[in-house]
Structure formats: structure tokens, C-alpha cells
Structure 1
Amino acid sequence: MKVLKKEEGFTLIEVVSSIVIITIVLLSFSQLFIQSNKTAAYNNEKLVAINMAEAELERLKLMPFAEYLPSIDSTKLYNFETISDIEKKLYSDGDNYRLNIKATQTSEEKNRKLINIVITVKYRNSKSTVEGYIRYE
């Protein structure tokens, strides 16, 4: 009498069902990776915009009346609401960043010889704002 040996292995249905399950799991993770990549790119754009605004603010602190506020005489005390509203384009790696500088001064700031500077950088859908003071003598 001939005895058949039991053959071990996976059936076609088991292989196909495992492939389907693995595909579903990988597709769900791929959506997570895509979304995290978009978020990282957006955060990178915001970070570049914030750094540009902070750099412009520091540049203004060094030379407040040279480039951006040339019509202001630094030897006088001021009493005004808005000194200047300047828009400038910045270019970084072929991208166009719009920089808006707004300088204001209240009477309290005038007494302390300070100018309030608000710098806003716009890029695509993101907008970043940095605020600081410039001291003049």
C-alpha cells in the first residue's frame, strides 16, 4: 500500500489574501508619510520666512536710517503713528518672498527714543511676522 506524504505550503488563496493585507497596511502608512512630508515642507517655508524677517530686523537695528527709513532724520524726536510702510521682494533659491516693513511710534516710544518695527514675510500661503524695537539717538 502506498502512503501519500502530506505536502506543506501555502495555498494560492492564502498568498493572495496576505498580499492584500500587506498592501492595505502599506497604503495607510504611505498616506501618513505623504502628509508628514507636506507638513515638513510647509514648516520649512515658515522657518525660512521667520529667519528672513529676523535678519531684516537685525539689519535695521544696525543701520535704521540708511536703507529703509531714509526720509527720517535720526536727530529729531518724532510724534507720529506710521513712519514708513515699505514692501520689498527678497529672492532665495529662485523663490519670491514679499517683505513688508512697518515702522510706528507712539508718544511713549518717542520719549524713550524707540521705533516699533513690524516685519512681515509672505511666501505662497504662509505669512510670518517678527516685531522689535530700534533705538535711535
Structure 2
Amino acid sequence: MRFYMNNDRGFTLVEVLASLVILSIVLTSFTVVFANTNRLAVSNNEKLVVINLADAYLERVKANPSEFITPFPPTIQNASKGKVQSSFEMNSKKYKVTIKISQTTDEFNKLSLLNVVVTVNSETSKHKSSVEGYVPYD
């Protein structure tokens, strides 16, 4: 047993300092990676909120077009080229919702459609999403 423990000196100060420097470099790199991952996750969450909010507003226009389009159905003189803007707050962040409606007619099938473009801007960040859909009218 004594054969294995013949060195009782321990570690020198230089060895301890070198190991602390190496350990701190490794831990600092992990901290930077975790901080960047957290920042990216928050940014992606904001993007998902903007995309889903735009989709939800487009579905609201499809479900009840008379809420957003006045008069409904639009007349030829009106041409329905208005922009409906509203502000929406979710998770203590404000979003600006813009609904742009333009009238189109399909010459081949004689269908009358309203082209609806919903754009959502985040007021706190630079995230923006836009979706487009069509609403039929007679």
C-alpha cells in the first residue's frame, strides 16, 4: 500500500491556477452558448406569435367578413381597397394588425373574390408576418 502513496507533496500553486483557468474558460464558453440559445428561443417564440396571430385574423375575416368589410358585399364604386388597422396586446407585448382588402373577379369562372392580406408587426421587435387569402362574395 505504501508503494502507491510515496508522493505526499500534493499540487503546486501553478498547477492549481492552471486548472482553474482551464475550468473557467470551459464554463464561460458554456455560459455563452446557453445565453445565445435562450435569446434565440425568445426570438423564435416572438416569430411564432406573429405568424399565428396573422393566421388567426385571416380566419376571423373568412368567418365573418362583414365585421371587417363595410359594406359587405362590396360595391363596384367602393372597390374595397381599404386598410383596417388595429392594435392587439398579447403577453404584455403590442402588435399592429393591418388588413388590406382588394376586390378581384375571376373572368373564367365568374367568381367574385376578395383578396385579403393580413400583416402583423410586432411593436417591440422587428418581427413581421403576412398571410393572404380569399373571401368569396355574391
Please classify the TM superposition score into its range, dividing by the shorter chain length.
0.7 to 0.9
1:112 lines up with 2:111 in the alignment:
yes
**How many aligned residue pairs are there?**
130
**How does the TM-score come out when normalised to structure 2?**
0.82
Structure 1 residues 78, 63: closer, same or farther in 2, change over 3 A? farther
Matched residues in 2 for 1:121 and 1:89: separation? 9
Question: Retained in 2: the 8 A contact 1:79–1:105?
Answer: no
Match of 2:3 in 1: none
Match of 1:122 in 2: 121
AA partner of residue 7 (structure 2): K
- 1:105 shift after superposition: 2.5
- 1:112 shift after superposition: 1.9
Matched residues in 1 for 2:77 and 2:63: separation? 20
Question: Retained in 1: the 8 A contact 2:99–2:119?
Answer: yes
Q: What fraction of aligned residue pairs are identical, expressed as a percent?
A: 40
AA partner of residue 64 (structure 1): P
Match of 2:40 in 1: 39
- The residue correspondences of 1:36-115 to structure 2 (distance < 5 A) are 36-65=37-66, 67-70=67-70, 72-74=71-73, 80=79, 83-108=81-106, 111-115=110-114
- 1:79 shift after superposition: 8.5
AA partner of residue 102 (structure 2): T
AA partner of residue 44 (structure 1): N
Task: Provide structure 1 residue ranges, at least 5 long, that are not aligned to the other structure.
Answer: none
- 1:97 shift after superposition: 0.6
The CA RMSD over aligned residues, in Å, is: 2.4
Matched residues in 2 for 1:128 and 1:87: separation? 15
Matched residues in 1 for 2:100 and 2:74: separation? 20
Structure 1 residues 112, 77: closer, same or farther in 2, change over 3 A? farther
Question: Retained in 1: the 8 A contact 2:83–2:99?
Answer: yes
Higher mean alpha-carbon deviation, 114-123 vs 6-15, is at 6-15
Structure 1 residues 92, 117: closer, same or farther in 2, change over 3 A? same
Match of 1:10 in 2: 11
Question: Retained in 1: the 8 A contact 2:101–2:115?
Answer: yes
Question: Retained in 1: the 8 A contact 2:105–2:113?
Answer: no
